[in-house]
Amino acid sequence: MDFSSFKGRSLVNWVSYSPEEIRRLLELARTVKEQAKSGECRQRFAGKTIALIFEKRSTRTRCAFETAFGEEGGHPVFLSSNDIQLGAKESIEDTARVLGRMFSAIQFRGYSQKTVETLAQYAGVPVYNGLTDEYHPTQVLADVMTIEEEFGTIEGKFLVFIGDGRNNVARSLMIISAKMGIHFTIISPRELFPDRNLVETCRLWAEKSGAKITITDDIAQVKGADAVYTDVWVSMGEESLKELRTVLLSPYQVNDSLMEKTENSSCIFLHCLPAVKGQEVSVEVIEGTRSRVWEQAENRKHTIKAIMLATI
Ligand code: CP
Ligand code: NVA
């Protein structure tokens, strides 16, 4: 596969990637997964370094980047915001230019989307968004891979996100689904609908891909879903909203009764994790036979490796 058009590119969200490019990344992820399973040991990042900047906590994203990069012979350097000057005593622009002189790539997880976009603008090396308040692009590539593995195809599949419809995961799922032809519905209280502009933009992509994008507060719309996806009610940085969210989102818990409403015995359950069992999802569902959350978590590593291989 030729990835010359990917070299040097950042991933701040999926907006600037075409469906064909996302398809190629999915194919590469499948290949690297097969290589990893067969025990093939390659050194494709030998002599390379990546800076992993974290303002927020992480298990999966950090470990996926570190292990994927390290096992290919590269050297990952973890930098928490307690360790470096990032917008505190040094501007983001200056930090970006310095790190860009030392590292082959940069990953950023934190609050502001503007920060990751500024890093990407100034670093001169690929910058990956490992989650901001607005987007979580690396997550949703793994999610699409998981759906494709389950059903053999994503074409015409129907994904329902239920919960906080304006959060980083829901918004990113809407973008990638619209581009890739996955029918996508957000079910959430009206107060938590995603912003209209993003929905309209996604509908334009969906016209081309054949996807249908629906935003509703009606739980019955889960009928026919091939995959039901939820995420925490309170994202990192929003801890003060816990009580309000619990009131708003309790009727939207994913439990056996909700899964029954799909009327689809092949419907799977997805969650980006970490999960608060008993809140957004019942123990029965996340631990049950429909759950694919561990496959999904594993696929974070293969998809992140594919993104780095294509762009570095
Ligand atoms: N899904 C996900 O991004 O997990 P972490 O917060 O543990 O990285
Ligand atoms: N919406 C969640 C996702 C965690 C992976 C958060 O931002 O905390």
What's the CATH code of the domain at 238?
3.40.50.1370
Nearest to 14 by CA among 243, 253, 202: 202
Query: 39 C-alpha vs ligand 2 centroid, how far in Å?
Result: 32
Q: For residue range 207-263, list pLDDT tens digits in order.
A: 999 999 999 999 999 999 999 999 999 999 999 999 999 999 999 999 999 999 999
Smallest CA separation from ligand 1 atom 7, residue: 59
Does residue 287 carry a pLDDT above 90?
Answer: yes
pLDDT confidence of residue 41: 83
Q: Which residue has the tokens 């399973």?
A: 37
pLDDT tier at 87 (50, 70, 90 boundaries)?
confident
CA distance 279 to 190: 19
> Which residue type occupies 45?
F
Residue 263: CA count within 13 A, CB half-sphere: 6
In our burial notation (b when 16+ CB lie closer than 10 A, e otherwise), range 135-160 reads bbbbbbbbbbbbbbebeeebeebbbb
Q: Do 288 and 150 reside in the same domain of the chain?
A: yes
pLDDT tier at 81 (50, 70, 90 boundaries)?
confident
User: What residues form DSSP beta bridges with 268?
Assistant: 227
Q: Is 269 exposed, middle or buried (0-12, 13-18, 19+ CB in 10 A)?
A: buried
Q: Do 25 and 163 reside in the same domain of the chain?
A: no
Q: Give the binding-site residues of ligand 1, using a 6 Å CB cut-off.
A: 58-61, 131, 139, 272-274
Task: Return the ligand 1 atom nearest residue 64 CA.
Answer: 8
* Domain of 108, in residue numbers: 4-135+300-311
The number of domains in the chain is 2
Q: Do 57 and 193 reside in the same domain of the chain?
A: no
Who's near 261: CB < 8 A, 6+ residues apart? 219, 220, 222, 223
Task: Return the ligand 1 atom nearest residue 130 CA.
Answer: 3
DSSP annotation of 186 reads E
Mean pLDDT of 126-140: 98
Q: Do 175 and 53 reside in the same domain of the chain?
A: no
Query: 10 C-alpha vs ligand 2 centroid, how far in Å?
Result: 21
